[in-house]
Amino acid sequence: MISRLLHFLGRGRGTGGRPHVTDVLTWLYLALGVFLMFAPVLWLGLSSFKTQAGLIEYPPTLAPLEQITVPVEGYDEPLPLFRVTGEDGVVRELAQVRRVGIISLMVDPAAPAERIKVPIDSIEKVREVKLAFENYAYPIAKLNFLGYLGNSVFVTVAATAITLVINSMAAFGLAIYRFPGRNVALGLVIGTLMFPLTIILVPTYLIVTELGMTNSLWGVILPGAATPTGVFLLRQYMLTIPGELIEAARLDRASEWQIYWRIVMPLALPALAVLAIFSVIWRWNEFLWPLIVLNRSENFTLQIGLHSFSGEFYTRWNYLLAMTVLTLLPVLFVFGWLQRFITTGIASAGIK
């Protein structure tokens, strides 16, 4: 398997074992694309294990490093350790007692009786790689992260299921049936894409309020259940289903519901998987509408919960980055599980 992969990656237009210039440019382009896509994710993952002090230090580091502290006789707290370069070029490791201006008062941990004055431009922190797992443990144990996670899972699963049912029913009617005004109805559905969210935000909120769904997760789920993008995607895919198959089912006395549920839905599985991925991403990352509808902290979704780590004057970046990593994992799992349907579903939806 690995040899086949290496052979595939090594294919090119060059002859005699020498790569062609286009091969080199292609590899550089792909390497640049991989770097631009995965470098921020790598930085996010490593930074989630840094302490708050490690995140704001300058110059920044990629790995989660923490300064080593050593216990020194005569001092209650461990002192930070520095690597000091003397005027004679000798390098020593000293512990800093305090800093006064541009001078650091330091002691030798082995002989703490003598204090040494050292210019700050000749010292360097002694650090080691240390993972701050408390960035994950504290929010989970103390900040109701699991409650936010449960709310987001419920909203995403329920909204995705309802979206698939409603959109597939609308697409079934627009693709299978022939009736006057069908194209007009499709045009009206697609035309709703031209209305930005800010225009319908206030009317939608008034309707949700009249129905008594404020501070309810159903107030987040139901308003966006039908999406024009989903209707169009499924409708285009259902147009590829042979009409003879539908007519044969009707001759066998199958009801319209049986045709929809037993024939069309299984055949439209690739397009449904694509729509499911889109719906999961939309609902999982939704922030503005839940922020408007939900006011009680016990009903907050993950995105609003992450926002609570940011204050007007202070942001707990270590907790925010750690919880952001956890919010990415369910989306990556769903995408990895359903990604084989993406190419098939999108390509087939564009046939007609």
Please check the confidence at residue 165 and state whether its pLDDT lies above 90: yes
Dihedral of the alpha carbons of 31, 32, 36, 38, in degrees to the nearest 10: 10
- Write down the pLDDT at residue 305: 82
- The answer to whether position 52 is within a domain reads no
d(CA 259, CA 264): 6
Same domain, 323 and 234: yes
CA 223-228-234 angle, to 5 degrees, is: 120
- Write down the pLDDT at residue 95: 85
Same domain, 23 and 148: no
Please check the confidence at residue 345 and state whether its pLDDT lies above 60: no
- Tell me the three state secondary structure of residue 166: helix
DSSP letter string, 245-288: HHHHHHHTT--HHHIIIIIIHHHTHHHHHHHHHHHHHHHHH--H
Q: Average pLDDT over the chain, rounded to whole? A: 83
Polymer length in residues for the chain:
352
Same domain, 184 and 237: yes
101: left (phi over 0), alpha (psi -120 to 50) or beta: left
Is residue 167 very low, low, confident or very high in pLDDT (cuts 50, 70, 90)? very high
What number of other Cβ atoms are within 10 A of residue 272's Cβ? 23
Instruction: Name the residue with higher pLDDT: 4 or 30.
Output: 30
What CATH number does the domain containing 297 carry? 1.10.3720.10
Is residue 171 very low, low, confident or very high in pLDDT (cuts 50, 70, 90)? very high
Same domain, 125 and 154: no
Instruction: Name the residue with higher pLDDT: 312 or 185.
Output: 185
Same domain, 90 and 234: no
- Write down the pLDDT at residue 163: 94
Same domain, 196 and 260: yes
d(CA 172, CA 150): 33
- The answer to whether position 59 is within a domain reads no
Same domain, 220 and 73: no
Tell which of 77, 108, 129 closes a domain: 129
Same domain, 124 and 217: no
d(CA 153, CA 218): 13
- Write down the pLDDT at residue 351: 46
Instruction: Name the residue with higher pLDDT: 140 or 221.
Output: 221
Instruction: Name the residue with higher pLDDT: 164 or 124.
Output: 164
Task: Please report how the helices 317-338 and 21-47 are oriented relative to each other, as an axis angle in degrees rounded to 10.
Answer: 130
- The answer to whether position 54 is within a domain reads no
- Write down the pLDDT at residue 312: 63
Range of the domain at 245: 136-349
Instruction: Name the residue with higher pLDDT: 86 or 275.
Output: 275
- Write down the pLDDT at residue 80: 86
Same domain, 108 and 236: no
For residue range 139-149, what is the model confidence (pLDDT) as tens digits?
888 778 888 88
Tokens of 341: 């349907």
Please check the confidence at residue 13 and state whether its pLDDT lies above 60: yes
Same domain, 118 and 141: no
- The answer to whether position 103 is within a domain reads yes
What CATH number does the domain containing 78 carry? 2.30.30
Same domain, 171 and 105: no
- The answer to whether position 155 is within a domain reads yes
Same domain, 307 and 216: yes
Find the range with the poorest average confidence among 1-15, 184-198, 308-322: 1-15
Please check the confidence at residue 318 and state whether its pLDDT lies above 50: yes
Tell which of 76, 97, 129 closes a domain: 129
For residue range 97-111, what is the model confidence (pLDDT) as tens digits?
888 888 888 888 888
- The answer to whether position 56 is within a domain reads no
- The answer to whether position 254 is within a domain reads yes
Is residue 350 very low, low, confident or very high in pLDDT (cuts 50, 70, 90)? very low
- Write down the pLDDT at residue 157: 92
Percent of the chain with pLDDT over 90: 12
Q: Say whether pTM exceeds 0.85.
A: no
Question: What's the total number of domains in the chain?
Answer: 3
